[in-house]
Amino acid sequence: MLGPSVALARCFRVRNEMDERESAQARERQEEFRRRCAAAAREAGGPEPTEEEIVEALKATREKIYHERYCKLPKPTEEQP
């Protein structure tokens, strides 16, 4: 049987490994996104976007999707004051 300190140390190690794996996966997704943006720009015949342009476009898209999903107010009806 493991003591509480050994079990806690193992939990921390596992958590750190999970964090590292998630960070690596996030970096891989970001790189894949950059590659796709560059490929789309080449395909469209325009200049490749800068990283700042990509980030701004992504933020604008996320904001638009958020507002479409969560910020729509119901239309008032005759019964509502």
26-74 residue pLDDT tens: 999 988 988 888 888 888 887 777 888 888 988 998 898 888 888 876 6
pLDDT bin (cut points 50, 70, 90) of residue 77 is: low
Structural domain of 25: 12-70
In-domain check, residue 56: yes
CB–CB of 47/41 below 8 Å?
A: yes
- pLDDT at position 28: 93
In-domain check, residue 75: no
Domain count along the chain: 1
Q: Which is higher by pLDDT, 43 or 76?
A: 43
Cα gap 17→23, rounded to integer Å: 10
